[in-house]
Structure 1
Amino acid sequence: MTATPQAKTTARSMSTLEFWSRGAARGAASRYPTGWWRFFRISAPALFLASALTVATLPQAAWGQKPIDKNAPATFSADTMSQDKAKGIITASGHVEVNQDQRTLLADKIVYDQKNDLLSAKGHIILREPSGEVVFAKDMKISGDLKNGIVHNLRIVMKDKSRFAARTATLRENRFTKLGRAVYTACNACKKDPSRPPLWQVKAMEIFHDKKAQSVEYKDAWVEFAGVPIAYTPYLSHPDPSVKRRSGLLPPRFGGTTDLGATVETPYFYAISPSSDVTLRPIFTSKEGPVLAGDYRQRFRKGEINLDASLTKDSKKITHGHVIGMGRFDIDNTWRWGADLQRTTQDTYMRRYGLGTQNTLTSKIFAEGFRGRNYFSAKSYLFQSLRANDKPGSIPLVAPMLDYSHVSEPSRYGAYNTLDLSMVALTRSKSTDDQRFSFRSGWHLPYTAPKGDIYDLSATVQGDLYHVNGLKRTDGSTFTGYKARLHPQLAFDWRYPFVRQENRDIYQLIEPITSFVVAPYGGNPSSIPNEDSLDVEFDTTNLFSHDRFAGYDRVEGGPRVNYGIKWGVYGSSGGSTSVLFGQSYRLKADSTFAAGTGLNDRFSDYVGRVHIQPGHLVDLLYRTRIDKKTHAISRNEVRISAGTPAFNISSNYIYFPKQADSEYNGRKELSLNIKSQLSRYWRGSVSGVRDLQTGGGMRSTSLSLAYEDECFVFKTDVQRTYYQDREIQPSDAFVFEIVFKTLGSVRANTTR
């Protein structure tokens, strides 16, 4: 098993420290010979360090502690101090306290035997570490060379509140630590009855810590849950927390599906180097062949690589596999490059084996640069569709795609220029090939009048040059050749926000908004392909846009005006309600917009948005599009979230019909999610998605219940998906997971 990352600890002896006394120690110093006090100045830090070093070798106590600063001074105080010169024994007793480098040692008594070179501390020993750990013990003895020692009745409280306890702890050769009859838990003690066993704990007859090998071994270990033993192992080992990464087996995962049968995943982690590792995840199935899956990761000073892949041969002796990879690299402060690789051998393979749910796999390679007010990117794309109705020959290879953007510094009057350049080439095996070069240049002048009204004047021109091969036009003919286009545009935006204070806590806003755009008619001949502007969604987000097409291939022509009004009420405590409603008008209808977009006539459909958020307990968003003739609802979207952590409900309803010439079907869908923090430790949720179209039905349902406290997590989920694609049928899934915090987890899932 791999250990969780922990900071490394170095335990080392200290050189002689300058030592000051305080409190009663000052008086004691004056009553003893000068020679003795000089000796005590040397040995007292050793007493303190011996305690610290002994604890540092115990499991978890100093794994992650920072080393003591050997040059830091220490202070010492005690009620009384004495010296037996004949026996060579120095004793400090009564509220003994040693402080050094934010580390504090408390004890009832500290004794140093000079003849036997033995240090000891007794009674209510408490060591507080600067990293947050606290160590308790009854008595402790350690040799003067700090290599051998023993501690009785040891207890350690870690910074994360986890605990160790042992009857005895023995240090040998400053390397090996042995804990006898030891217990470990991350659970807090019961406040009502501290004598009750914690929720879970690990008991072992012996625990060995090899500081040099950085390993911890348990012998005769039991895992107890609520005081009841549930698992036993004669031997268990793992790296100590000072080890950030180490090769080893990870907890297995169990599951099953109707298609694959019972499944077992047994991952193995291998640390290749400090900056790279691989996790092999063999998956064994009862109905199909085994799957060899794995992840590879590597970090560089200026980049990273992540790779996920699998390979299998099914019961029909057909080989399947997939690869999902990503790399990102910084060249300098301006440039970076990267690549994504996503491929699979079969459309349904990843979904069948639980390796992914994508409908399209996108591979790309890119480079981009950012400098000042400039941006440049070069990209290439390769797509793999996993949907049944997609034709592979119609999916393009995009290589290259070049984009450049520049925004100038504002002039003394606030005007600025913009320039966008774009070049792209699309190649298909069984359909149209085309290449495009475009530029879009603009001049913009924003202005805010003294009374608060806001103006924006802009003039832009777009130029395009296309070369197409085998383009099918609307009249049924095929076009091959070059086509150029030049499209100028002039726009003027105006808005005037009126604000009124209703009272000292409420403000009301009314803001009329208008946008005038002038451009030549047309501009979209049938000899220009449409690759990047296939679908248009008209709503409040683009109501005042100068061009509602997302890409370069289609332009919005003709004189037009967009108008609307915004109203809002805002409270000083954060609550608000806002409404936006508007429409667009053009002098002539534009056939470029397909039927159903709401923009194909002179007057567009009405679009509106209502956002109500009276406080943090309720959030309601409603967006709609209303037919300008029949006033029927053309599009509806409602999103609501309300409630407290004790009971919270969120829902989303969406409706829009299929647009003409669109590859996307319409949707009428309702989703609902109810979640509750049932108590301090228990939480649950219920969710579902239903297709409200004729002949639709449920898309998915799920029920989850979880318990979580400071040391333990229990999760269970029941899911039903109604997705169906070729051999993939609707399924039921049951997921069960138990997490022992700081130790590990057990997970099982079954799908039928």
Structure 2
Amino acid sequence: MIRPFRSLLSLLALLPAMALAQDGGALLIADDVLIEGGGTLIATGNVEAVHDGQRLKAQRITYDKAIDRLEITGPITLFDGDYTTVLADAAELDRDLRNGILSGARVVMDDQLQLAATQVNRKDGRYSQLYKAAVTSCRVCADGKTPLWQIRARRVIHDAETRQLYIDGAQFRVGPLPIAYFPRLRLPDPTVTRATGFLAPSLYNSSLLGFGIKVPYFIAIGDDKDLTLTPYYSDMTRTLEFRYRQSFASGGIEFEGAFSRDDLVRRDNRAYVFGRGVFALPQDYVLRFNIEAVKDDAYLVDYNYSDKDRLQSEISVERVRRDEWRRAALTYFHTLRPDEDSSTLPSSVANFDYEKRYFPTRLGGELRLAAEAHSHYRWSSEITDTDLTDFDRFSDGRDVTRITTSADWMRTWTLLGGLRAGLQTGLAFDHIRVNDAGTTSRSSLSDVTPSTALTLRYPLAKTTSRGVTHLIEPMLQLAWVGGETRNIPDDESTRTEFDEGNLLSISRFAAADRRERGANAAYGLSWSRFAPAGLRSTFVVGQIARERTQRDWDGGQSFSQSSGLRGSTSDVLLAGQILTRNGLSLTARGLLDGAFDTTKAEARAGWRNAVVDLGATYIWLREDPQEERPSEISEWAFDGSYRLSRHWTGNAEWRYDVASDRSVRAGVGVTYTNECVDVSLSASRRFTSSTILEPSTDISLTVGLRGFSARTEDKSYVRECKK
């Protein structure tokens, strides 16, 4: 008889006594080890055995060489692989810990899903069979209280290879109350991220579609693709929604859509499809596509699929390198607005863009060469007057093709006293052709436009005794652009924004079909403040003065009334931003005319941290017939969420039209989350109406069970047991 006071037996010492797995390694640690009769080994006191990736802790292990069995006395903890832990009172296992019986066992998977049973049978290290079992992902405390939900079953089999749970005689309970019975169930264990089966259902109640239910079914077609089918049945509709995803070695695609027959549009099928994809091509090229199509204009809003009122489908090929950019794209637009006709809009668009940078050593600075080809097509073939302007001059079916090439040289110097001087000079060639142009504008023209600009900046910096840094930078740009106003329709530069991004620009039109002509001066001041505590703020003020007002060939002004760029002197631009370390941000921008009346204003405030995520937006635009805005727009929008407590989160949104004094949209919701369940209840109301839309109210309820293929990453939601 051998009784060491503290034994550490390695593989070489164990093989003669225990005859453990011959093709693996084993290690046993215990307070006391006793060998009786040359064939029985008894280890007691803080016993720990490690074998073939498994680790066993117990109070006593007895190995009988004659029957090649282990008798284990608990409490037992068996770490089986990377994500499964088995707790038991007692066990009888073979020498490999792969076959046997555990009594009073509890299996914990991925620290989430728990399976408790009176007995667990292990077979081949792959199958664990539990009898009279209870399954839950809710935290089970020692006070004996019933978990929030559980599945009681006659038998549960876990297949460690396929990572699936097979449940016989399943009774689903909420608290102590049985609410559903399933003869058989198959569920993925928590480590599975993709498994065919039903997802969490949702209940909906809509004033348009009535009361209904959605039951998604996920189909894992392979490791690289899947399909989700969601039948939606209600009092007013029979709908099938779908989502298809597939990954490739060089990219991926995703499509989503729906097919419906409802009582809103009788005797007609309704459908939509949205698709997107991206692929890496040889030589650093990237292919992207986006598809948006709908059968009728009101379908997306009726079913809350999207708020878009214009759809855009596009395919493009692009390459971006440090000194070069190439892009070719085909785009199709379709309007859903009741007052617009897609056939009279430039709905089919083709673009090609190329830009290359050079850095000549003798000349210095940067030489930038660019080329652009643009063409848009209207499907209308009627030669009728349009109402885009007050002049009857253009056809509703006109089509435009433009080719632009340019060369610009830019260089910056630092002069005495820290003054930064930048010089830019360039030459652009444009050729524009208009088909179905009408009778009062040219069908084609070509011109050459020279330009030059001198930019001066004088940054001034100061750091106070408290560590606050101030940076003040006056700036001035003197620019000149040659050439004359073109007698062609304005199709691309119909909307122009004046902001701090284009204050120092040679031309502020959106595209090259229009250019600012003559001499102008842009001047402004920027101020930035950086505090050690994390507070950052910036402020910009600027204005533009020209030698002449920018006019079209017919005498009308090129810029719209609300652009802030009309006349020989622009509106005053004011813009600012404040950022704090605790997540608060404020951004505002506005234009003031000569009488200091507001031309345009927008502001955004946000506050985001671990508890709150709030945002508010305000926008004001004056009426502008040239931008097809007959009345002013004044609108507030609020959105946010707030974590009310450990498990409860509330969210709300509200969009309000101040000009017409009515709400546009409002919604409120609440979500309960813990380690084993997600419950979301939301309600929303759309107040707008048109010839194809009517106001609607929607209520939805979704209940999701965590633990089955849904990991709890945020541990702050996990409930705590009372001590």
TM-score (norm 1): 0.84
- AA aligned to 2:115 is F
Q: Relative to structure 1, is the Cα distance of residues 245 and 676 closer, same or farther in structure 2, using a 3 angstrom cutoff?
A: closer
- AA aligned to 2:464 is E
CA distance in 2, matches of 1:213, 1:579: 60
* Residues 22 and 77 in structure 1, CA contact (< 8 A), matched pair in contact too: no
Q: Secondary structure at the match of 1:350?
A: helix
* Residues 200 and 705 in structure 2, CA contact (< 8 A), matched pair in contact too: no
* Residues 635 and 656 in structure 1, CA contact (< 8 A), matched pair in contact too: yes
The equivalent residue for 2:391 is: none
* Residues 607 and 614 in structure 2, CA contact (< 8 A), matched pair in contact too: yes
The equivalent residue for 1:534 is: 494
CA distance in 1, matches of 2:479, 2:634: 34
CA distance in 2, matches of 1:465, 1:593: 22
Q: Secondary structure at the match of 2:7?
A: helix
* Residues 514 and 561 in structure 1, CA contact (< 8 A), matched pair in contact too: yes
* Residues 250 and 279 in structure 2, CA contact (< 8 A), matched pair in contact too: yes
> Over aligned residue pairs, what C-alpha RMSD do you find?
3.1
CA distance in 2, matches of 1:421, 1:206: 71
CA distance in 2, matches of 1:210, 1:166: 16
Q: Secondary structure at the match of 2:17?
A: helix
2:32 alignment partner, one of 44, 64, 80: 80
1:279 alignment partner, one of 228, 233, 247: 228
Q: Where do 1:460-499 residues align within 5 Å?
A: 460-472=426-438, 477-479=439-441, 481-499=443-461
- AA aligned to 2:650 is G
Q: Deviations over 1:549-605 (max 9, x none)?
A: 121111111111111112233211211333211211111121222333221211111
Are 2:63 and 1:124 aligned? no
CA distance in 1, matches of 2:223, 2:306: 29
Q: Relative to structure 1, is the Cα distance of residues 418 and 226 closer, same or farther in structure 2, using a 3 angstrom cutoff?
A: same
The equivalent residue for 2:17 is: 40
The equivalent residue for 1:217 is: 166
1:424 alignment partner, one of 361, 368, 374: 374
Are 2:618 and 1:653 aligned? yes
* Residues 274 and 292 in structure 2, CA contact (< 8 A), matched pair in contact too: yes
Q: Deviations over 1:662-699 (max 9, x none)?
A: 13564211223464332222232343221111x34111
- AA aligned to 1:84 is E
The equivalent residue for 1:170 is: 121
Q: Where do 1:243-392 residues align within 5 Å?
A: 244-288=193-237, 290-315=238-263, 316-392=266-342
* Residues 650 and 670 in structure 2, CA contact (< 8 A), matched pair in contact too: yes
CA distance in 2, matches of 1:132, 1:308: 34
Q: Relative to structure 1, is the Cα distance of residues 340 and 501 closer, same or farther in structure 2, using a 3 angstrom cutoff?
A: closer
How far did residue 134 of structure 1 move?
3.6
Range with bigger deviation, 297-306 or 675-684:
675-684
The equivalent residue for 1:702 is: 667
Q: Relative to structure 1, is the Cα distance of residues 479 and 626 closer, same or farther in structure 2, using a 3 angstrom cutoff?
A: closer
Q: Deviations over 1:221-269 (max 9, x none)?
A: 3333344444443432224456554433444433243333333334333
Q: Where do 1:547-696 residues align within 5 Å?
A: 547-591=507-551, 592-613=558-579, 615-616=581-582, 618-628=584-594, 630-641=595-606, 650-664=615-629, 666-673=632-639, 675-693=641-659, 695-696=660-661
Q: Secondary structure at the match of 2:562?
A: coil
CA distance in 2, matches of 1:185, 1:467: 70
CA distance in 1, matches of 2:430, 2:483: 16
* Residues 597 and 659 in structure 1, CA contact (< 8 A), matched pair in contact too: no
Q: Relative to structure 1, is the Cα distance of residues 101 and 142 closer, same or farther in structure 2, using a 3 angstrom cutoff?
A: closer
Range with bigger deviation, 108-117 or 547-556:
108-117
Q: Relative to structure 1, is the Cα distance of residues 77 and 171 closer, same or farther in structure 2, using a 3 angstrom cutoff?
A: closer
Range with bigger deviation, 140-149 or 536-545:
140-149
1:452 alignment partner, one of 418, 429, 432: 418
- AA aligned to 2:355 is S
Are 2:478 and 1:512 aligned? no
How far did residue 133 of structure 1 move?
4.6
Q: Relative to structure 1, is the Cα distance of residues 583 and 667 closer, same or farther in structure 2, using a 3 angstrom cutoff?
A: same
Q: Relative to structure 1, is the Cα distance of residues 266 and 718 closer, same or farther in structure 2, using a 3 angstrom cutoff?
A: closer
Identical amino acids, percent of aligned pairs: 25
CA distance in 2, matches of 1:194, 1:175: 33
How far did residue 159 of structure 1 move?
3.6
How far did residue 504 of structure 1 move?
3.2
Range with bigger deviation, 640-649 or 588-597:
640-649
Q: Secondary structure at the match of 2:675?
A: coil
- AA aligned to 1:627 is D
How far did residue 362 of structure 1 move?
1.5
The equivalent residue for 2:681 is: 716
* Residues 175 and 212 in structure 1, CA contact (< 8 A), matched pair in contact too: yes
Q: Secondary structure at the match of 1:661?
A: helix
CA distance in 2, matches of 1:541, 1:254: 47
CA distance in 1, matches of 2:309, 2:681: 28
CA distance in 2, matches of 1:346, 1:231: 41
Q: Deviations over 1:456-493 (max 9, x none)?
A: 11112221111111224xxxx34463211211110111
- AA aligned to 1:531 is D
The equivalent residue for 1:63 is: none
CA distance in 1, matches of 2:56, 2:416: 70
Q: Relative to structure 1, is the Cα distance of residues 602 and 214 closer, same or farther in structure 2, using a 3 angstrom cutoff?
A: closer
How far did residue 286 of structure 1 move?
2.7
* Residues 635 and 655 in structure 1, CA contact (< 8 A), matched pair in contact too: yes
CA distance in 2, matches of 1:498, 1:390: 51
Q: Secondary structure at the match of 1:393?
A: helix
CA distance in 2, matches of 1:743, 1:645: 26
CA distance in 1, matches of 2:523, 2:498: 14
CA distance in 1, matches of 2:163, 2:450: 71
Q: Relative to structure 1, is the Cα distance of residues 194 and 242 closer, same or farther in structure 2, using a 3 angstrom cutoff?
A: same
CA distance in 1, matches of 2:345, 2:570: 33
CA distance in 2, matches of 1:22, 1:636: 85
* Residues 309 and 337 in structure 2, CA contact (< 8 A), matched pair in contact too: yes
How far did residue 74 of structure 1 move?
4.1
Gaps of 5+ in 2: 381-396, 552-557, 711-723
* Residues 560 and 624 in structure 2, CA contact (< 8 A), matched pair in contact too: yes
Q: Deviations over 1:37-68 (max 9, x none)?
A: 5513742x68xxxxxxxxxxxxxxxxxxxxxx
The equivalent residue for 1:5 is: none
Q: Relative to structure 1, is the Cα distance of residues 146 and 227 closer, same or farther in structure 2, using a 3 angstrom cutoff?
A: same
Range with bigger deviation, 676-685 or 714-723:
676-685
Q: Relative to structure 1, is the Cα distance of residues 642 and 211 closer, same or farther in structure 2, using a 3 angstrom cutoff?
A: closer
TM-score (norm 2): 0.87
How far did residue 180 of structure 1 move?
1.6
Q: Secondary structure at the match of 1:503?
A: coil
Range with bigger deviation, 383-392 or 88-97:
88-97
Q: Deviations over 1:387-413 (max 9, x none)?
A: 111112213353532111111246377
Q: Secondary structure at the match of 1:180?
A: strand
